[in-house]
């Protein structure tokens, strides 16, 4: 097992990464407050891992469960209400601990419920997908979607611990594994060129779920995110670089309907669009662009936007992004490989050209 810490003063917490560690009760004992536990999961994950966790924790705690429907389409205030009702009906008090057992949707909603139940109760993240293990479970972003925008309702609320069991990845469909790999690649692009180089060499082995290699990829991703979050917990500055590709990607998710494109798939296309715009601005070489595109393709990810989208769709959706400041759209771009910047200083002609060329390429790919 490997351990690292997110350093946030009195809100600091450990991240544990290892094989089979979701059944190491001592890790939970150190993070659980009081004697009440509410495990929030979904229908898919419950069938795989819930019974064993309930059995383990019931030795010392009163354990209740809340099983949600599975899918991004259910990341709503209505589903959040199901968690709140479960906590109230089971008479959970301020010393209860919420455990999020599942992927990013479960983690975001359970975390938001913990942040707001009786004005805040402790929670633990037990992410079961690659995407949630390397991204959404770390950093304290919680919330739900709105029909007009992704993650527009939520709170910054840090967990007591993140327990990453790499064994859960064996149950993931290939599409979900690929979606998680988009966030892994992102870290190489924004702040770690040696990691990017390593991913180029190891991607076939990573996609085959080699235990040592996938643990290393998760660890290095978490190190990168923990380092950034420790400097900027509430995204007032440098933390925004973690959103490379997300402004474009969220536009795709919202326009296409939540769940039709997986978050990681949309982020992959968003990263490619950001890389292209960075190239047009003279920050990247042709080789840089080719390497980025090839790495996403090696992870079995899309690199072109949905053919049904238009430039107007992107502009409309991106105008509602959380990074819009005083009416100006800010994008995360690359000054070079491994060096991200957040800026609203980009020529609109280049921005439009990036979208037009990508949408045209998507159309041509459909026709052939």
Of the candidates 92, 150, 186, 250, the residue annotated as catalytic is 250
Q: Which of 75, 186, 225, 330 is catalytic?
A: 225
Which residue is it, tokens 């690199």? 303
Active-site hit among 150, 186, 246, 313: 246
- Separation in Å, CA 171 to CA 46, 126, 129, 130, 368: 13, 15, 9, 11, 34
**Whether 235 is catalytic:** yes
Cα 319 from Cα 330, distance rounded (Å): 10
First to last CA, the chain: 48
Does 225 qualify as catalytic in the annotation?
yes
Catalytic residue among 176, 183, 253, 265: 183
Choose the catalytic residue: 92, 220, 239, 317. Answer: 239
Catalytic residue among 141, 150, 220, 317: 141
Which one of 75, 150, 220, 235 is the catalytic residue?
A: 235
- Among candidate residues 243, 253, 313, 323, the one labeled active-site is 243
**Which residue intervals of the chain are DSSP H helices?**
25-29, 43-45, 51-57, 77-89, 104-116, 130-131, 174-191, 193-207, 211-231, 246-256, 263-280, 286-298, 311-318, 348-367
* Contact assessment for residue 188 and residue 195, using Cβ atoms and an 8 Å cutoff: yes
Task: Return d(Cα 115, Cα 106) in angstroms, integer.
Answer: 14
3-state secondary structure 248-280: HHHHHHHHHCECCECHHHHHHHHHHHHHHHHHH
From the list 137, 142, 124, 110, the residue with the least C-alpha distance to 61 is 124
Active site residue 183: yes
Q: Confirm whether 250 is a catalytic residue.
A: yes
Among 220, 263, 280, 330, the one annotated catalytic: 263
Whether 239 is catalytic: yes
Is 89 an active-site residue? no
- Active-site annotation holds for 186: no
Active-site residue flag, 75: no
> Catalytic residue at 22?
no
Active site residue 263: yes
Show which residues are catalytic.
Answer: 119, 141, 183, 225, 235, 239, 243, 246, 250, 263
């Amino acid at each position: 097992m490997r351990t690292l810490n997110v350093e946030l003063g009195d809100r600091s917490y450990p991240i544990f990464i290892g094989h089979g560690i979701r059944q190491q009760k001592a890790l939970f004992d150190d993070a659980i407050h009081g004697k009440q536990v509410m495990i929030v999961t979904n229908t898919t994950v419950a069938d795989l891992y819930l019974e064993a966790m309930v059995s383990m924790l019931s030795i010392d705690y009163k354990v209740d469960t809340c099983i949600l429907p599975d899918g991004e389409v259910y990341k709503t205030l209505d589903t959040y209400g199901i968690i709140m009702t479960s906590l109230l009906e089971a008479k959970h008090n301020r010393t209860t601990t919420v455990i999020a057992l599942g992927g990013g949707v479960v983690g975001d909603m359970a975390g938001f419920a913990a942040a707001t139940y009786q004005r805040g109760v402790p929670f633990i993240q037990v992410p079961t997908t690659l995407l949630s293990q390397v991204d959404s479970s770390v950093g304290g972003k919680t919330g739900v979607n709105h029909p007009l925008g992704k993650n527009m309702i939520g709170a910054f609320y840090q967990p007591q611990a993140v327990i990453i069991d790499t064994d859960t990845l064996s149950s993931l469909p290939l599409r979900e594994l690929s979606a998680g790999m988009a966030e892994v690649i992102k870290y190489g692009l924004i702040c770690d060129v040696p990691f990017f180089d390593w991913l180029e060499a190891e991607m076939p082995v990573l996609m085959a779920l080699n235990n040592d290699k996938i643990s290393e990829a998760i660890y290095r991703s978490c190190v990168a995110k923990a380092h950034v979050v420790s400097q900027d917990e509430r995204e007032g500055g440098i933390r925004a670089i973690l959103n490379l590709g997300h402004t474009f990607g969220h536009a795709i998710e919202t326009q296409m309907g939540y769940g039709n494109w997986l978050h990681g798939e949309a982020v992959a296309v968003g990263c490619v669009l950001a890389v292209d715009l960075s190239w047009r601005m003279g920050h990247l070489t042709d080789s840089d662009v080719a390497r980025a595109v090839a790495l996403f393709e090696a992870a079995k990810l899309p690199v072109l936007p949905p053919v049904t989208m238009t430039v107007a769709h992107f502009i409309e959706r991106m105008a509602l992004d959380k990074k819009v400041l005083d009416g100006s759209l800010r994008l995360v771009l690359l000054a070079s490989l491994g060096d991200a910047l957040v800026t609203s200083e980009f020529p609109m002609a280049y921005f439009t050209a990036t979208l037009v060329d990508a949408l045209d390429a998507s159309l041509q790919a459909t026709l052939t």
